Amino acid sequence: MTSNFAIAIVGATGSVGETLLQILEERDFPISDLHLLASNESAGRTLAYRGRNLRVRAVDGFDFRTVQLVFFAADPSVTLAHADAVRKAGCSLIDVTGALPSDVAPRVVPEVNGALISGEAPFAVTSPSSVAVAVSLVLGALREHVQVRRLVIDAGLAVSSRGREGVSELARQTAELLNGRSVEPRLFDRQMAFNVLAQVDEPDAEGHGRLERRVNADIKALFADEALNVAVSCHQVPVFFGDSLSVTVQASTPVELGKVIAALDAAAGIELVDAGDYPTVIGDAVGQDEVYVGRVRRGIDDPCELSLWIVSDNVRKGAALNAVQLAELLIKHHL
Amino acid sequence: MTSNFAIAIVGATGSVGETLLQILEERDFPISDLHLLASNESAGRTLAYRGRNLRVRAVDGFDFRTVQLVFFAADPSVTLAHADAVRKAGCSLIDVTGALPSDVAPRVVPEVNGALISGEAPFAVTSPSSVAVAVSLVLGALREHVQVRRLVIDAGLAVSSRGREGVSELARQTAELLNGRSVEPRLFDRQMAFNVLAQVDEPDAEGHGRLERRVNADIKALFADEALNVAVSCHQVPVFFGDSLSVTVQASTPVELGKVIAALDAAAGIELVDAGDYPTVIGDAVGQDEVYVGRVRRGIDDPCELSLWIVSDNVRKGAALNAVQLAELLIKHHL
């Protein structure tokens, strides 16, 4: 029944790109032809797929008419540089970089607003920021029980949100400090080891970072609710992999905790951890498809308040897996 | 003019106790007689004060009639065990452990509600939790401009909040992992290195931890506002010293950012970091008397929302310094 598809991955050598490749293989995605693309510097490397070594080619000059679907997992600027050519080639695209506006490439998490994907190919879809994917999955599962009026998201991001350089920089700084040497920060603007950085990118004139704006817009788009009030603070924590999210919801009516817990327990893609215990990125979320939720509780002062702790693999469910799930949805609609 | 006072420190060998001793010396506190007290196990050790080595004695059996003021900086249970004897001895007390109810020992931050200290000796005063000290200092400075209706505090606590054992456990785990060995957690219930723990103590039946309850009650008491809505989430981060706090305020009127910034800039005990930049515990807060504030911004969706990033030395300003400042206030009232 299923036909096979010619696919390209732009940014194949990055951590999201490599995880994409791995998940396509794991989920047995029907591929006839696979093109791995990257910047000129990374071209020439090889990556393994189903036991074969595939050579990475430069994205510049690639003919998008030879594929039906492209994943963009490099820099937002790379998405922007090629989106027009992709469209003109009649090729569908899934962007994990958030470079395109919502009216061009709507933000979709299959479990939350997958119904948004309709019509005919070519499709253009955005996989939202990892923070928005995790939070919307959880709040989406509660839609029948909790009408969210206001949301405060405090996100502790792992250094892998800065790619492989982030991971090696935290390791280097930690080793230097443990050996009693002083640290000269490179990738981050401060000492990252044993420290929490207040922001993950350059704030704009109003003081909000690019990712904070993106999470805010993602969540409102995913719930198609422009009136929703979403406060977002993103911090960089000395953790290698995974997002650690503290979420406080103000609902319009008192929260019925029993129903909330039952709904989370029943939801696909969510692993609920019992009261008293709690999940962490290490040992729970990292390497897993599920988003983990714990510390589900009502406010001390306000029965309409709900607090949650969410951990998620930022590279996997937060980006690569959601993108592949989007591709699976596109297939259903005759990509 | 000033007379000198006979003083005891219970819990002198702990990190708050040692910092207390250091700050008393730094601030030239008028001491005639200094008794260092601790558990039976720690008795016999010596600590330096003004170039002399003072021997630590057991708190059990100490005659509180020989002093005018006692600092309690051990466990809450130690405060509870001796508070009655202290009162009967006619001795004033400053408790940093939060063991006593507000009607017995009101929570005071001198800059916020120092006026609460009045009447005659003996006094009993509580130095609030380090998180509440830092947040109330900042919001206290804004009292004329921001009427707070709702507050969401997300607190990343350093391992030093668990005393010296917390510090050595993070160091041990980090070294093991960097050497490629697996980690068997001891003090914490999970791997602490390169991980964020969702809670810092055992939650109660409603899911709130003891410290979360304490911060909530502290803040309401400090602003004498029982109607205030305070959501608190405390997490343990792999940082040695200092609290990293993300605070989102919902005010009753649109926030006038210019006035907020001017008020923070002018406030005693607060160091405001310019927009674009931000403070961190390392390099800014740790070892300093000031609480550092940055990332002062209004909500993306709501002009009545104010977000702030606050870092503070949890042992110093958060506990020992505030306690000594309270003692200085008591002196003014003829301790």
- Looking from the CA of B195 toward its CB, the CA atoms found within 13 Å total 24
Residue tagged 């009232």 (tokens): B333
Q: State how far the alpha carbon of A68 is from the alpha carbons of A8, A48, A108, A127, A263, in Å.
A: 8, 22, 19, 18, 37
Considering only CB atoms, B195 lies closest to which of A152, A280, A296, namely A280
Cβ A195–B239 below 8 Å, yes or no? Answer: yes
Nearest residue of A to residue B195, measured between CA atoms: A239
Which of A13, A9, A15, A321 minimizes the C-alpha distance to A168? A15
Cβ B276–A171 below 8 Å, yes or no? Answer: no
Name, in order, each residue with C-beta under 8 angstroms of B23's C-beta and a sequence gap of 6 or more.
Answer: B316, B320, B321, B324
Cβ B300–A232 below 8 Å, yes or no? Answer: yes
Interface A–B counts its CB contacts (< 8 A) at: 186
Strand order in the sheet with B148-157: B229-236, B148-157, B243-251, B305-312, B291-298, B270-272
Question: Where do the structural domains in chain A lie, given as residue ranges?
Answer: 5-127+319-332, 133-313
The answer to whether B240 contacts chain A (CB < 8 Å) is: yes
Q: What are phi and psi of B251, to 5 degrees?
A: -100, 165
Region A133-313: CATH code: 3.30.360.10
Element (H, E) at A325: helix A322-332
Instruction: State how far the Cα of B241 lies from the Cα of B313, in Å rounded to an integer.
Output: 7
Tens digit of each residue's pLDDT (9 = 90 or more) over B238-284 = 999 999 999 999 999 999 999 999 999 999 999 999 999 999 999 99
Instruction: State how far the Cα of A298 lies from the Cα of B170, in Å rounded to an integer.
Output: 31
- The average confidence (pLDDT) of chain B is 95
Tens digit of each residue's pLDDT (9 = 90 or more) over B167-202 = 999 999 999 999 999 999 999 999 999 999 999 999
pLDDT-derived band at B3, boundaries 50, 70, 90 = confident
pLDDT-derived band at B1, boundaries 50, 70, 90 = very low
Considering only CB atoms, A248 lies closest to which of B170, B228, B231, namely B231
Chain B residue numbers touching A203 (CB-CB < 8 A): 275-276, 295, 297
Cβ A231–B248 below 8 Å, yes or no? Answer: yes
Considering only CB atoms, B231 lies closest to which of A275, A279, A305, namely A305
Which of B287, B270, B280 minimizes the C-alpha distance to B23? B287
Provide, rounded to the nearest whole percent, the portion of chain A with pLDDT above 70. 99
The answer to whether B175 contacts chain A (CB < 8 Å) is: yes
Element (H, E) at B271: strand B270-272
Instruction: State how far the Cα of B243 lies from the Cα of A285, in Å rounded to an integer.
Output: 25
Considering only CB atoms, A231 lies closest to which of B190, B197, B299, namely B299
Give the CATH H-level superfamily of domain B5-127+319-332.
Answer: NAD(P)-binding Rossmann-like Domain (3.40.50.720)
Please state the rounded mean pLDDT for residues A310-325: 95
Element (H, E) at A152: strand A148-157
Does residue A2 register a pLDDT over 70?
no
Cβ B207–A295 below 8 Å, yes or no? Answer: yes
Determine the pLDDT at residue A75: 93
Instruction: State how far the Cα of A94 lies from the Cα of A325, in Å rounded to an integer.
Output: 10
Instruction: State how far the Cα of A37 lies from the Cα of A307, in Å rounded to an integer.
Output: 42
Instruction: State how far the Cα of B247 lies from the Cα of B138, in Å rounded to an integer.
Output: 10
In a mutational test of the A interface, the residue from B184, B194, B218, B237 whose CB has the highest number of chain A CBs within 10 Å is B194
Nearest residue of A to residue B298, measured between CA atoms: A206
Considering only CB atoms, B282 lies closest to which of A194, A246, A276, namely A194
Chain B residue numbers touching A150 (CB-CB < 8 A): 250, 302
Tens digit of each residue's pLDDT (9 = 90 or more) over A217-264 = 999 999 999 999 999 999 999 999 999 999 999 999 999 999 999 999
pLDDT-derived band at A120, boundaries 50, 70, 90 = confident
The answer to whether A244 contacts chain B (CB < 8 Å) is: yes
Is there a contact between A72 and A79 (Cβ–Cβ < 8 Å)? yes
Nearest residue of B to residue A216, measured between CA atoms: B300
Does ipTM surpass 0.90 in this model? yes
Considering only CB atoms, B283 lies closest to which of A156, A191, A244, namely A191
Tens digit of each residue's pLDDT (9 = 90 or more) over B54-107 = 999 999 999 999 999 999 999 999 999 999 999 999 999 999 999 999 999 999
Determine the pLDDT at residue A133: 98
Provide, rounded to the nearest whole percent, the portion of chain A with pLDDT above 90. 93
Please state the rounded mean pLDDT for residues A320-335: 93
In a mutational test of the B interface, the residue from A234, A236, A240, A280 whose CB has the highest number of chain B CBs within 10 Å is A280
Which of B276, B196, B63, B58 minimizes the C-alpha distance to A281? B196
Determine the pLDDT at residue B177: 95
pLDDT-derived band at B2, boundaries 50, 70, 90 = low
Provide, rounded to the nearest whole percent, the portion of chain B with pLDDT above 70. 99
The answer to whether A239 contacts chain B (CB < 8 Å) is: yes
Does residue A1 register a pLDDT over 60?
no
